Structure 1
Amino acid sequence: MKIRTTILLVLSVIMLSNTSFAQETSVKGNSQIVKGTSLVLPQIQVIPIKDTNTERNYELYIELPEGYSENTNKTYPVIYYTDAMWHLEMLSACQEFILEDIILVGISWQKDIDEDLKNEVGAHVSRFRDYSISKHSNPEIQKKYQPGQANNHLDFIRNDVINYVDNTYRTDTNSRTYFGYSLSGEFGAYILLSQPDTFNNYIIGSPTVKGELDNLSELNLKFGPYEASNSNSSLKANVFISHGSLEKEAAESIEAFVKLLKDRRDGGLAVLKEVIDGNHSTAFPMTTVRSVAWLSSLMSPVSSANYDVSFWDVPHLNNAFVTTTPEDRKDGIAVDTLAVDSKDQNAILKLSQDIFDDKYGNYDALLISHKNKLVYESYYKKGRIDLPHGQASAVKGYTSLALGRAIQLGYLTMEDLNKPLIHFLKNMNSEKFTKGAEKITLHKALTMHGGLTIDNEKWKEVENDSIKLKGQGLVQTLLEYSKPITDESQVYLYGNFNPMLVMTVIDAVVPGTAEDFIKNELLDKLGITNYKWAKHASGLPQAGWRASIMSRDMIKLGHLVQNKGKLNGKQFISAAYLEKATSGIVRPAIDWMPKNYLYGYFWYYTPVKVGNKSYDATLAWGGGGQRVMVVEELDLTIVINGYDREDDKIMTPIFETVIPAFTDKQPIVSKSK
């Protein structure tokens, strides 16, 4: 694969445009004009094709990638584009410079169109019929141009064009893309909401949807709302939508179309909207370049360095990326080859395909490390090797490790875990505390037994008050608003108040701030630099959720637990603290929690049965499916990332397929307390 850049492509287009202009000026200045011949592009095959329903004749302009004939075992993604004669040159250039391993299929206008219409309007006259959704209100115009036949043209593309291409060339049927601009962009919007499975990816540039919003809304209603438990309710598409910055009149309707898509809250639909400098015409070249660069990002497990959007706008990978020999990316993680027997390896590979096929919900990554070496790496949907993945309550586990680091460095002791939490917080007014405030210890907070009881409506009045809650003001307010802390109130209650109590103590005892400490003493030393960690209204780092971290970096955190707190052979996290944090101290009082799960210090413990043996597993667990799971006896760390909100199905194959692949026959004694 040659290394190309978007800048080079744009410069090439500009140079070609300037050259053409110079040649045209020069010819007009000559007294004698020499008649030339048409340029034939040897890499493009022109294939006649007939619409079997309407008997209309078209042509396909097919451009195969370099090396197609040599790589006989390789399948290729396909970009289908309408308005072929207008779009061919730009897309051909993009194939050369940005996305080389792709087949281009241009679909012409009708070739045997009525000659009078062709002479009156041009060779493109059939586009007004084929790409438009609605009939015209003027009967004469309707009779003459017959607009509103997008449904017929879509049938032609589905039944004739795609079938021909798939039967003739080695195509990747999981990676079909539609490219349309202006009226053919409107056609793309119609395809997306009427038969979305036609393509996996849609590039819709400056679509003429102003008069079609009602029709598009009706198509959306007809398709039905998205339901997380029903994958068939998803449009299952990646969509790039753009318009020119000077298209003021069109922008409002395009924004409304984008809103229509995003209001679906469709877990399988990724929509990215970009505003391109220029008007309807001049925005086209850069729209092509930007959209193809976007397209390349969903065909690779490595995101583009220039591709920075919110997680929810990240397009889904068209195919799962799976490797049993992970690449050494010089990121501090040793790599090796998955060394299990063939039956187990095939079972794990099948699991990856099942994850990609939505059998277990919305999951983006599965990584396996054995003996401190990454041996299996796979990404699906929004997962990327170098893209931080949102973390929910798994952040609680990371906060626990930060506390263990503070103990290792001597800022706290193991005995401090049983001291009143307010002992460490000197900047508060104890006279305003609720009765029993001294009952809250670090141990109680870490096991979700703090005992705070706060009226939700009352808390809403101050939960975003950054002045009142600043720093230790958060704990001051909590201890003022809570009902008395009693033995009866100190029961397991899952939530983010307890983690923030712990974070406030960390901030109080370490030099500098908790934010600096987590960065400098935990993440930096692990080589974790590409992450996001949100702040609470108090100004402290969030302790229980709202961070993003790369899957490979989650492996590093798992290795700390697997190695009893050691990093590069030296004690990094207090071993005594970690032993307690990852053991089963209390039973979570949550109805949906599996009965064999116990809770330590923001880490879960569960025994895993393989045959007649039991293996101790501990995990940081975030809602939606982010997990760092460690089976110390097997030298095994497993990372899962996802955003699944339905039944927690993924752990069944982890317990029944992944972990057993690494087991031996030695019985293991559970360490549950």
Structure 2
Amino acid sequence: MFRPSLVVLFVAFTGTFAGSADLPRSTPEVQGVSSAAVREFVEALDKINTMHSFMVVRHGHVIAEGWWKPEAADKRHVLNSVSKSFNSTAVGLAVADGKLSLDDPVLKFFPADAPANPSDNLKAMTVRDLLTMSCGHDTEAKTVGGPSVKQFLAHPVAHKPGTHFQYNSLGSYVLSAIVTKVTGKTSLEYLKPRLFEPLGIKDPEWASSPEGNSIGGSGLKVHTEDIAKLGQLYLQKGKWNGKQLIPEAWVGQATSKQVPNDQESHAKIGVDWQQGYGFQFWRCTHNAFRGDGAGGQFCVVLPEQDVVVAMTAGGANMQAELNAIWDKLLPACRAEALPADAAGQDKVKQAVAKLEVRPAAKKTN
């Protein structure tokens, strides 16, 4: 699964979280990154309020990791919309199994939930449109009593599907409902033997709807390392331990720009929210891609640098989190191993040992 190299254990946090399928650990220098750059990255993150955790993987090896107390390696974290990238993977597997097609109309799966007189735009909406957040809505439908397919289908479809990007978590829920329709299993159940178990993701939790489907667009709880594993799997084009878990073609489609998302409203979030959208994955600057979730959850993949970064938080400045990667880690990646730096590694450990969650900054009038 990973490129052979000298593996040196680098524990950058107090306490350990042992697992049967943990990613291998290494020093930053062995993997071509200076400990000084890693320390600067940690310090940059620590200036952001409400950070909870981070993990940096280079060449398939964890070179740094940390948790802001009282968060810890053995605690699951709700992913918010990073859940969408896992849910998208379930859709990709169902497509590979021949259970559905990207061009299937959404109404095909829910005839009993359709409005009495569906609009032409609703009739034209496909699975692909759900994946790319281009269903045709002007706004996201509000849910009452939990997400439901009927509420989604009743929402006016103002634009021709495929022509207008509108972030839509309820659409992600409908994708989860489709997975259940065509496989007879929830996204959580469907992914357990196909994704979670091969990656060593133990006891994932996924909130479900009153209709019995995994929420899909949010609600998944796993460990920080599990987020990194998903990123590593996609970095490796769907292959894990020599086995193709998800089709390479799906990885390419899911993580490439399928639709533009450069609306003015996204400029208020940050430049990395205007680089295009794939199949429940965002494109980033620096030719990277990511899953992201409200409050500061991230699974960032930098293919050119062979790097994966997982982060969790409780309301952080999300563009600042990404900027810490672009400013501190990305320039530090070298093609060759660096000389050992025990003193530098010790400074990283010291920096990580001091991490404690800081509350969100108070708003002032």
Q: TM-score, normalised by structure 2?
A: 0.78
Equivalent residues of 2:73, 2:224 under 8 A apart: yes
**Corresponding residue number in structure 2 for 1:139:** none
Aligned-pair CA distance for 1:454: 7.1
**Corresponding residue number in structure 2 for 1:658:** 329
Equivalent residues of 1:391, 1:626 under 8 A apart: yes
SS at match of 1:407: helix
Equivalent residues of 2:140, 2:170 under 8 A apart: no
1:344 maps onto 2:34 in alignment:
yes
Identify which of 238, 252, 267 aligns with 1:591: 267
Equivalent residues of 1:439, 1:485 under 8 A apart: no
Q: Distance in 2 between matches of 1:495 and 1:386?
A: 31
Shift of the 572–425 alpha-carbon distance from structure 1 to 2, 3 Å rule, reads farther
Aligned-pair CA distance for 1:485: 4.9
Q: Distance in 1 between matches of 2:162 and 2:45?
A: 41
5+ residue gaps, structure 1, are 1-320, 609-615, 666-673
**Corresponding residue number in structure 2 for 1:380:** 68
**Corresponding residue number in structure 2 for 1:322:** 12
Equivalent residues of 2:121, 2:136 under 8 A apart: no
**Corresponding residue number in structure 1 for 2:301:** 630
5+ residue gaps, structure 2, are 1-10, 337-365
**Corresponding residue number in structure 2 for 1:544:** 217
1:144-166, CA deviations, whole angstroms, 9 ceiling, x for partnerless residues? xxxxxxxxxxxxxxxxxxxxxxx
Aligned-pair CA distance for 1:390: 1.9
* Equivalent pairs, count: 320
> What is the correspondence of 1:68-217 to structure 2 with a 5 Å cutoff?
none
Identify which of 258, 274, 278 aligns with 1:600: 278
**Corresponding residue number in structure 2 for 1:499:** 172
Aligned-pair CA distance for 1:580: 1.0
Aligned-pair CA distance for 1:342: 9.7
**Corresponding residue number in structure 2 for 1:438:** 123
**Corresponding residue number in structure 2 for 1:575:** 248
Equivalent residues of 2:103, 2:128 under 8 A apart: yes
**Corresponding residue number in structure 2 for 1:32:** none
Equivalent residues of 1:363, 1:381 under 8 A apart: no
Q: Distance in 1 between matches of 2:225 and 2:162?
A: 40
SS at match of 1:629: strand
**Corresponding residue number in structure 1 for 2:96:** 408
Equivalent residues of 1:619, 1:627 under 8 A apart: yes
Q: Distance in 2 between matches of 1:634 and 1:484?
A: 41
**Corresponding residue number in structure 1 for 2:52:** 364
Q: TM-score, normalised by structure 1?
A: 0.44
**Corresponding residue number in structure 1 for 2:205:** 532
Q: Distance in 1 between matches of 2:331 and 2:319?
A: 20
Identify which of 109, 134, 137 aligns with 1:449: 134
> What is the correspondence of 1:232-311 to structure 2 with a 5 Å cutoff?
none
Identify which of 152, 165, 168 aligns with 1:478: 152
Aligned-pair CA distance for 1:431: 4.0
1:619-663, CA deviations, whole angstroms, 9 ceiling, x for partnerless residues? 101111111111123221111111134463122221111122224
Aligned-pair CA distance for 1:489: 9.4
Q: Distance in 1 between matches of 2:297 and 2:180?
A: 26
Equivalent residues of 2:41, 2:325 under 8 A apart: no
Higher normalized strand content (fraction of residues): 1
**Corresponding residue number in structure 2 for 1:556:** 229
* Partner amino acid, structure 2, of 1:521: R
Equivalent residues of 2:55, 2:65 under 8 A apart: yes
1:119-141, CA deviations, whole angstroms, 9 ceiling, x for partnerless residues? xxxxxxxxxxxxxxxxxxxxxxx
Shift of the 454–659 alpha-carbon distance from structure 1 to 2, 3 Å rule, reads closer
Higher relative contact order (CA 8 A, sep 6+): 2
Identity %: 22
Q: Distance in 2 between matches of 1:341 and 1:490?
A: 43
Q: Distance in 1 between matches of 2:140 and 2:238?
A: 39
Aligned-pair CA distance for 1:406: 2.0
1:464 maps onto 2:149 in alignment:
no
Shift of the 547–382 alpha-carbon distance from structure 1 to 2, 3 Å rule, reads farther
Q: Distance in 2 between matches of 1:553 and 1:455?
A: 29
* Partner amino acid, structure 2, of 1:348: V
SS at match of 2:166: coil
Aligned-pair CA distance for 1:341: 9.1
1:65-86, CA deviations, whole angstroms, 9 ceiling, x for partnerless residues? xxxxxxxxxxxxxxxxxxxxxx
Shift of the 437–348 alpha-carbon distance from structure 1 to 2, 3 Å rule, reads same
Q: Distance in 2 between matches of 1:498 and 1:424?
A: 14
Shift of the 506–450 alpha-carbon distance from structure 1 to 2, 3 Å rule, reads same
* Partner amino acid, structure 2, of 1:642: A
Equivalent residues of 1:406, 1:506 under 8 A apart: yes
**Corresponding residue number in structure 2 for 1:422:** 107
Aligned-pair CA distance for 1:437: 1.7
Shift of the 647–338 alpha-carbon distance from structure 1 to 2, 3 Å rule, reads closer
1:459-511, CA deviations, whole angstroms, 9 ceiling, x for partnerless residues? 55xx217xxx7xxxx333432x2225542895211131210121121111114
Aligned-pair CA distance for 1:604: 1.0
SS at match of 1:483: coil
Q: Distance in 1 between matches of 2:40 and 2:161?
A: 49
Aligned-pair CA distance for 1:432: 4.3
1:77-112, CA deviations, whole angstroms, 9 ceiling, x for partnerless residues? xxxxxxxxxxxxxxxxxxxxxxxxxxxxxxxxxxxx
Equivalent residues of 2:31, 2:59 under 8 A apart: no
Q: Distance in 1 between matches of 2:225 and 2:161?
A: 42
Shift of the 327–374 alpha-carbon distance from structure 1 to 2, 3 Å rule, reads farther
Q: Distance in 2 between matches of 1:505 and 1:442?
A: 9
* Partner amino acid, structure 1, of 2:190: F
SS at match of 2:98: coil
Q: Distance in 1 between matches of 2:181 and 2:90?
A: 13
Equivalent residues of 1:385, 1:551 under 8 A apart: yes
Which protein shows a greater Rg?
A: 1
Shift of the 441–344 alpha-carbon distance from structure 1 to 2, 3 Å rule, reads same
* Partner amino acid, structure 1, of 2:280: F
* Partner amino acid, structure 1, of 2:35: Q
